Amino acid sequence: MTDCPCGSGGAHDECCGPIIAGAPAPTAEALMRSRYSAFVTGELDHVEHTHASYMRDDYNRSQAQSVAAEAKWMGLEIRQTTGGGPDDETGTVEFVARFKRGQELTVHHELSNFCREDGNWMYVDGEMSPRPATVHVDKVGRNEPCPCGSGKKYKKCCAA
């Protein structure tokens, strides 16, 4: 059993794996986690299929593919959720996803909107807050605070 890439602490087979394989996500947060994990594992069909149908024109498959292929994923942190539960029709998830491309570290901080479509949670759109921050990490000392804002030393965080 492997740890789920979404960082839940659960096994991938019991966390995001089944949702990526097509099981309905119980909550908007679970869907968000599974979309992150699908980026990590390169299962972009899941990312595409969980985009609300009326927003799917917005989804840029080739862009998603190049991000997934080049990025080294450093972790997902769920900051806050509203709604998105079993009795809700809409919900939001605020998250931070960190990834590296070469010496560039991107801290993607987004407030995402989710809605139900035929009973299933779907990603609608998101607002960056702030704008995605890309930091060149080649000049960051290993003992300096990590530029991702985690509060840890760089060597203990995104240098891995």
Smallest gap, in angstroms, from Cβ of residue 22 to Zn ion?
Answer: 15
Q: CA–CA separation, 158 vs 74, rounded Å?
A: 6
Question: Using the rule CB under 5 A, is 6 a contact of Zn ion?
Answer: yes
Applying CB under 5 A, among 19, 27, 28, 33 the residue interacting with Zn ion is 33
Question: Using the rule CB under 5 A, is 97 a contact of Zn ion?
Answer: no
Applying CB under 5 A, among 27, 128, 157, 160 the residue interacting with Zn ion is 157
Smallest gap, in angstroms, from Cβ of residue 116 to Zn ion?
Answer: 20
Q: CA–CA separation, 79 vs 65, rounded Å?
A: 26
Question: Using the rule CB under 5 A, is 8 a contact of Zn ion?
Answer: yes
Smallest gap, in angstroms, from Cβ of residue 37 to Zn ion?
Answer: 5
SS (H, E, C) the chain: CCECCCCCCCECCCCHHHHHCCCCCCCHHHHHHHHHHHHHHCCHHHHHHCECHHHHHHCCHHHHHHHHHHCEEEEEEEEEEEECCCCCCEEEEEEEEEEEECCEEEEEEEEEEEEEECCEEEEEEEEECCCCEEEECCCCCCCCECCCCCCCEHHHCCCC
Question: Using the rule CB under 5 A, is 27 a contact of Zn ion?
Answer: no
Question: Using the rule CB under 5 A, is 158 a contact of Zn ion?
Answer: yes
Stretch binding Zn ion (CB under 5 A), from 58-66, 118-126, 130-138, 143-151: 143-151
Question: Using the rule CB under 5 A, is 32 a contact of Zn ion?
Answer: no
Question: Using the rule CB under 5 A, is 148 a contact of Zn ion?
Answer: yes
| Interacting residues with Zn ion (CB under 5 A) | 4, 6, 8, 15-16, 33, 146, 148, 150, 157-158
